[in-house]
Amino acid sequence: MVVRLAPNQVHTGMRLDTYLHSEIESYSKRAIRQIIEIGGVHVDGRRVRRCSLEVAAGQRIEVHLDGRSLTPFRITSDLVLFHDEFLIAINKPAGIDTQPTVARFQGTLYEALLVWLDRRHLRRPEIGMVQRLDRNTSGVIVFSIHPKAHRQITQQFTDHQAVKTYLAMVVGAVTAPVQELRATLIRERKSGLMRVSNTYPGKEARSRYRLIAPIGGASLLEVELITGRTHQVRAQFAALGHPLMGDRQYGGPRRLGKITIDRQWLHSHRLRLIHPKTGLPVVITAPLPDDLRKTIPQEIADSYS
């Protein structure tokens, strides 16, 4: 939701937090301050994070509200899967944006990583973002954190040398136990979602999947991404008539038997790449989170812990 405001002469000189509180009465002054601090307020098109800023007549003020917690996400040591001078891999929880959005800078994975690294390094951290995970996708994500690592790690992802393996639960029974999927993906202007197109030019998406087990009216899959397109797994399986469980944007149901699934059933489980300094392979895995574990038999969940 976006609240658009235009202060007049009466408001000139008021503190930003005071002005917003007077205009948006449904939020406490403390909440207004938190919205400013996380980066949800833009003045004349620029993000502003200073509560004491004085407003002026004629300014265009936008308040972006995403409806989620105003307490910034912070990385804890248990979420760090791999860390050395060149790379860091995080087990990203679901519900956290990977990169800044119009509604928040503070509390995104990128900003939380800056804070975590800054507390542990003498030099200013430099982060190379070579991967993206959707807000409600969990699991392993890697960043380069040294200037000498950025180019090589980026090249591995560009050339599809990094091997990314996801766990996904889709609706229904898949037609083959093993299959490679190829599709052309385009973005719909109105919805912003990715769709498979047989008509318009777009970006090639390639994935391989292996059936792990049928579960109720669904199928648990291991999916290897050969390319890394936006919403690739979600869009490809939706086009096959097998949307991800819990993925309401792409037509997936929220319930599996008596269990409610509150987000798309998609987890970045394993990443294999070549270390930019040593040249040796590095394999990083992220265990299944509790919300996904509870939807599958324990013996299967334990094998992916």
Supply the residues annotated as catalytic: 134
Cα 105 → chain centroid:
13
- Which tokens in the block code for residue 57? 């007549």
Question: Which of 128, 92, 123, 126 shows the shortest CA–CA distance to 109?
Answer: 92
